[in-house]
Structures are given as structure tokens and as C-alpha cells.
Amino acid sequence: MQITVRDLSLLLNGEVVGNPDAILSTVTKIEEGKPEALSFLANPKYESYIYTTGSTAVLVNRTFEPSQSLSTTLIKVDDAYSAFTFLLEQFASISTHKTGIETGSYVSEKSNVGSNVFVAATAYISAGASVGNNSKIYPQVYIGDNAKVGNNCIIFAGVKIYNDCVIGDNCIIHAGTVIGSDGFGFAPQADKSYKKIPQIGNVIIENDVEIGSNCSIDRATMGSTIIRKGVKLDNLVQVAHNVEIGEHTVIASQSGIAGSSKIGKYCVLAGQVGVVGHITIADGTVIGGQSGVNSNIKKPNLKWFGSPAFEYGDSLKSSIIFRKLPDMMKRLRELEKQIVEINIKK
């Protein structure tokens, strides 16, 4: 797809500084610029690249003023990062614009598939399942009995959605993720063996959720495991049975949430965070990477770090003390030695 700088500027309500007739056909990072490419500059740390970039045009904030001469055309907009994100969305929608049911897929006669849906070869849609309008189902996706996928969803290759699970509108689920596998429920027996507890609930994923690749979201023992609207999960995240994640919470890679815990709204969990079961985390909580949360967090909008996690400011002070421990131990031993010498002299 080709577009002139002038037309793109009109689309973004921008201002052109340079050649409005230049042609754009692709997007690229500013440091890897090439002819007919559009890049963007939002972070001042990357400003040096704008003076050497090979990109034909660069999106910048309206407040940007170059300190050197430029060989590229500028498109000034209110928010360069947001504008570039919008353009990437348009490119992505073109590349994923597919419709029709391919040969080699299985769509049950008892399922309900909406209009403008794409179902790739080797995908499997079970009896009683439904797929909403404009959704894309890629190869080797399994949608179980009575499962529901909403409108405008993209379910990438190899995703498994077990029976009775519900996916809302405008959701993206990346390759290899499993929705609705059994929760880790086993009852210890007198002979020290374990008896499986049937997991008869489901998973409910609300609208506008994106889930990374190779995640596991377990069905509830009873009731529902719930991912509220706007939640974003990175790759390799484990969500156990009966967990509830509040709206617009973000969880980074390799984090795990144990059973029946409740994560609030607008929280941020960094990479490799572990949350024990049956606790509640308040709205707006931010938890630093590799932290372990083993008790309720009741106060909203605080930062936590450490294992076990405690408030961020205190954790920083503790880490400073911890780093000084070897020196403190050395000084303590010297003091002990001096005390012994003083006592001998007496």
C-alpha cells in the first residue's frame, strides 16, 4: 500500500515540514530507516537518529524542534507515539483481513459462525460453539463444545478453548495459549495419594483482552475464572482456577497467579511475579519483577517489591542495608577482636 506524506498527514491531522508529495509504503524503526519508510520519534533518547535516518518521513510531536539540518520530512502530530500505534493497527488489519472457511477445517453443523469469519484449515469448531462476526480462527485452533468467541476476535494458531468458556469481543489470543484447562485441584487421601477434584466451572474473558502466547488460564472448580475487560497478559503467564483479574490490569511474562486470588483493577505485575492463592490485591497496585506476594494488599495505588513483597520504598532501604552486610560483618568482627584485646590487657 502506498500513500503520500500529504494524505497521511491529513489522516492524522498533522503538519508537514518537508516534501508533502513523498511516497510512503512501509514503516520501520528510525534507526533502521530506508526509502519510502515512515518512522516515529517520541523518546528524546533516540533524537540523534532523526539526523541520520534513511526514512522518507518521521512522525514527531508538534513541540519537536530539530537542532541540526534534516534530510527527512517531518509529520508533526499531537502525540507521535499514539499516531504511529494507530498506523500499525491499520497495517495489521490489512495483513489479517481474511474471510471464508478453508478446506480441511471442521465446523460442526450445530455450531453458530457469524458473518465475515475466517476459519483456517485444521481448525476445529465443536457442536454448540459460536464464533462472532469478523473473527479470525487460525490453523489448529480448537473451540470446544458450547464455547463462545465474540466479534472481531483473532485466535492465532494452536490456541485451545475448552468447552463452555467465553471469549468477549475484540480479543486477541496468541499462539499456543490454553483457555479452560483443568485447575490444579487434588484432594489428599489417607494413603498419601491424591484424588482429582472435578473442575466443572469455566473461564470468562471479557472484551478488549489480549493474551500472549503459551499462557494457561485454568477453568474454575465451580463458577468462573474471570479476566475482566482490557486486561493484557504477556507470554507464559499462568492463571489458576477461580482467579479474578480486574479490568485493565497488565501482567508480564512468567508470572503466576495461584487459585482463587483476586487481582484489582489497573494493576501492573512485572515479570516473574508469584501470587499465592486466596488473597486479594488492591486496585492500582504495582509489583516489581520476581516479587512474591504472600498476603493481602489492602491499600490501593502502592508499589511493592521483594520476596516476600513489601512496600517499594522500604524494600529499597532494605536492599541497601543488605548490600552493606558483608562490610558490616567485617567491621563487627574487628570490633569483637578489639574488645577481646582490651579485656586481655585488663
Report pLDDT for 228: 98
To which residue does cell 478453548 refer? 161
* CB contact at 8 A, 239 and 205: no
Instruction: Return the bridge partners of 143, or none.
Output: 125, 161
Q: Residue 340: pLDDT above 90?
A: no
Percent of the chain whose predicted confidence (pLDDT) is above 90: 81
Would you state the cell numbers that stand for residue 117, as one nine-digit string?
Answer: 469469519
CATH superfamily of 100-273: Hexapeptide repeat proteins (2.160.10.10)
Residue 284 burial (10 A CB sphere; 0-12, 13-18, 19+) = middle
Sheet holding 268-269, edge to edge: 100-101, 118-119, 136-137, 154-155, 172-173, 210-211, 232-233, 250-251, 268-269, 286-287, 303-306, 309-311
Q: pLDDT band for 130, please (50, 70, 90 cuts).
A: very high
Using DSSP bridges, classify how beta strands 309-311 and 303-306 pair: parallel, antiparallel or unpaired. Answer: antiparallel
Q: Which of the residues are catalytic?
A: 241
Q: What are the counts of helices (DSSP H) followed by strands (DSSP E) for the chain? A: 4, 40
CA 293, 296, 300: angle at the middle one, nearest 5? 100
- Which segments of the chain belong to CATH 2.160.10.10? 100-273
- Cell numbers placing 333: 568482627
Q: Is the pLDDT of residue 207 over 80?
A: yes
Q: Is residue 233 classed as helix, strand or coil in its secondary structure?
A: strand
C-alpha span between 108 and 320 (Å, rounded) = 62
Distance, CA of 5 to CA of 73 (rounded, Å):
8
pLDDT at 98 over 70: yes
> Which one is predicted more confidently, 318 or 137?
137
Lowest mean pLDDT among 11-25, 40-54, 90-104: 90-104
Cell of 169: 469481543
Q: Look up residue 82 and give its amino acid.
A: S
pLDDT for position 56: 96
Mean pLDDT to the nearest integer, 271-283:
97
Rounded to whole angstroms, the Cα distance separating 270 from 249 reads 11
Q: Where are the beta strands (DSSP E) in 13-72?
A: 15-17, 23-24, 26-27, 37-41, 57-61
CATH code for the structural domain at 3-95: 3.40.1390.10
Helix (H, G, I), strand (E, B) or coil at 45: helix
Q: Are 238 and 261 in contact (CB under 8 A)?
A: no
Q: Where in the chain is the domain with CATH 3.40.1390.10?
A: 3-95
Average pLDDT value for residue range 261-279: 97
